[in-house]
Amino acid sequence: VLMSVIPLFLLSLTLRGIPLTGIRTFTPELEIETRIIGGKEAWAHSWPWQVSLRYATMPACGGAIIAPSWVITAAHCFQRFKTASSWMVMAGKHDLGNPNELVRVSRIVTHQGYSRRTKEFDVALLKLQTPLLYDEHVGPIEIWMDALRPAMSCSVTGWGSTRENGPRVNRLQEVNVSLLPLDKCNQFYRGRIRPTMFCAGRPEGGVDAWRLRGPLSCFTGERYRLGGLVSWGVGCGRVHRPGVYTKLQDHAPWVADVMNSGGLSCGEAQTPACRLGSLPATLVAAGGEDLADGGGEVGPGGVTEACPYSWPWQVSLQSEGRHYCSGTLIHRHWVLAPHHCNTKTGDMVVLGVHDLRFMASQSVPVDEVFEQAQDGSFPPSNDLALIRLSEPARSGEPRIPVCLPDDDIEVDDSWTCVTTGWGQTKTLDNVSPHSLHQATVSLVNLTASRSIWGGGLIKDTHLCTHPAAAIPCMGDAGAPLVCQKHGVYFLFGLVTWGSRRCDLIRPAVFSSIADVQLWIRDTTEDV
């Protein structure tokens, strides 16, 4: 079944006389028998799918060519530096001391489920500005789609070090490793190995390759297939500490989705003219004296109509054709919304819509709603629910999930934050209540918010937006709070309550997703 959904990278190319994928054109006879345990310099140009990723001018990670415009690599390479224009790919090279023929990266797509803590879903795709030309030095490799068998012999390649504390090398290295049983590897790492990972090396140590930061290629008897990517490990070649790899066959549908959508990743959109540069400098406030959930009116000042389809993760939750709440697409199968919206099975999730009076690009029934246990407090401290769609959101604009931030990401003044929603406006004759609105916002610390609101209303699970000039009084429960840095938007909260009077004094309150990341991951993985 999977083979039928990944046609883009199951290539059988013979361009310019080049053989099929996974063929090594420069392989000396008896090479496999002569490999040494700790690894050695590879035969020049014998791994034509191997590429070097460079940040600015510095070598960083390795990757593998899977299509002329696509390279697959590890998501952890982009934990600190995510701006695509700063990255380049060097293909067809053996010695990094001659860094010519670099191709710029146009887009970085990291898996939306990647966790810096657990290292799950450690995979990313790079779309290149210019397609690679295949020749005897440059060619693709297919993803291995059969079961990875323990004791299989595979090779890891890269320009890192093949020994602990060893120097980084300029010439491509290769190491022969054996796949280890999952249960044995979990014993070594005390249960940290997830089903989407596998281990390779030797239990007695002496051979390891995770510091090479490159692809793991396995020989099928006819050609090589891409089995995994180096993810993490402890030391290098230590006893009972094999390298840990991302199992790529489990991510093949995701790879196909990204490539079919043109590489649009979470938190991105292709409408830059409609983004923050056109938003007013003032902010919108939701202050007041009487608590209201997100169903109040929209306050004046700073709210403008959004450019159509410029916030592609925003969805409308509807019952019997009427909008009642906003939700946020966080995955093709999942939407995050407020608990108090009381979304029911059979309600409709409307995606890719700007004006609620007109047809949307996709409408999907709610399959099931997953709610957190409530503590009975008012206002609620955990006002969030996960909505599973009965069918996945179609890939591409105007349906792109927003990114979820890592646990340790904090918003400071270098971030720009926005909230969006639908609703009746007040004193804004030029903004249709049927069209999506937007407003820039700033965050205010909880101590200041508590002093304004009083009464113990603000919990540690809340976020509050700046009351000095403009806080969202959108009148739309579930309006997302998204913040961007380096052009990528992350979801930090959903509006849960504010003031009925929108008096510009008291901040609006959002349910923070920071404390529910584990619940989100557990719910979306287990169902």
Task: Give me the DSSP letters along 328-397.
Answer: EEEETTEEEE-GGG---TT-EEEES-SBTTS--SEEEEEEEEEEPPP---SS-S---EEEEESSPPPSST
Q: How many angstroms separate the CA atoms of 282 and 273, rounded?
A: 19
* Residues 34-89: tens digit of each pLDDT: 232 356 788 888 899 999 998 887 888 899 999 888 999 999 999 888 888 889 99
Q: Which phi and psi angles does 392 have, rounded to 5°?
A: -70, 150
| Residue 234 Cα distances to 61, 87, 268, 312, 360, angstroms | 18, 27, 34, 40, 50
- Contact criterion met (CB below 8 Å) for 253 and 5: yes
- The tokens of 134 are what? 């295949």
Q: How many domains does the chain have?
A: 2
Q: Which of 197, 231, 260 delimits the end of a domain?
A: 260
Q: Is residue 30, in this structure, part of any structural domain at all?
A: no
Same domain flag for 225 and 368:
no
Helices (H) and strands (E) in the chain — how many of each? 4, 29
- The tokens of 402 are what? 């927003």
Same domain flag for 340 and 402:
yes
- The tokens of 110 are what? 């990291």
Same domain flag for 205 and 339:
no
Q: How many angstroms separate the CA atoms of 371 and 23, rounded?
A: 50
Q: Which phi and psi angles does 318 have, rounded to 5°?
A: -130, 145
Q: How many angstroms separate the CA atoms of 337 and 343, rounded?
A: 8
Q: How many angstroms separate the CA atoms of 148 and 314, rounded?
A: 39
Which are the contacts of 355, defined by CB distance < 8 A and separation ≥ 6?
Answer: 308, 432, 434, 435, 436
Same domain flag for 227 and 334:
no
Predicted structure pTM score:
0.57
Q: Is residue 61, in this structure, part of any structural domain at all?
A: yes
Q: Which of 227, 260, 293 delimits the end of a domain?
A: 260
* Residue 506: predicted pLDDT: 76
Q: Is residue 267, in this structure, part of any structural domain at all?
A: no
Same domain flag for 245 and 379:
no
* Residue 203: predicted pLDDT: 57
* Residue 15: predicted pLDDT: 34
Type of residue found at 481: L
Bridge-based pairing of strands 385-389 and 362-371 is antiparallel
Q: Is residue 29, in this structure, part of any structural domain at all?
A: no
Q: Is 442 helix (H, G, I), strand (E, B) or coil?
A: coil
Q: Which phi and psi angles does 454 have, rounded to 5°?
A: 65, 180
Q: Is residue 60, in this structure, part of any structural domain at all?
A: yes
DSSP single-letter state for residue 298: B
SS3 letters for 91-155?
A: ECCCECCCCCCEEEEEEEEECCCCCCCCCCCCCEEEEECCCCCCCCCCCCCEECCCCCCCCCEEE
The most distant pair of C-alpha atoms in the chain lies apart, rounded to whole Å, by 81
Q: How many angstroms separate the CA atoms of 264 and 285, rounded?
A: 32
Same domain flag for 224 and 328:
no
Same domain flag for 163 and 291:
no
Q: How many angstroms separate the CA atoms of 9 and 2, rounded?
A: 12
Q: Is residue 266, in this structure, part of any structural domain at all?
A: no
- Contact criterion met (CB below 8 Å) for 137 and 48: yes
CB atoms within 10 A of CB 103: 18
Residues of the chain with pLDDT under 50: 1-19, 28-37, 270-301, 427-428, 430, 467-472
Q: Is residue 289, in this structure, part of any structural domain at all?
A: yes
Same domain flag for 304 and 445:
yes
Q: Is 46 helix (H, G, I), strand (E, B) or coil?
A: coil
Q: How many angstroms separate the CA atoms of 136 and 35, rounded?
A: 23
- Average pLDDT score, the chain: 76
Q: How many angstroms separate the CA atoms of 99 and 123, rounded?
A: 25
Structural domain range at position 341: 272-526
Read off the CATH number of the domain in which 461 is found.
Answer: 2.40.10.10
Q: Which of 204, 229, 260 delimits the end of a domain?
A: 260
Same domain flag for 423 and 337:
yes
Same domain flag for 301 and 371:
yes
* Residue 214: predicted pLDDT: 85
Which are the contacts of 165, defined by CB distance < 8 A and separation ≥ 6?
Answer: 236
- Contact criterion met (CB below 8 Å) for 518 and 525: no
Same domain flag for 255 and 150:
yes
* Residue 385: predicted pLDDT: 95
- Contact criterion met (CB below 8 Å) for 473 and 297: yes
Q: Is residue 106, in this structure, part of any structural domain at all?
A: yes
Same domain flag for 355 and 256:
no
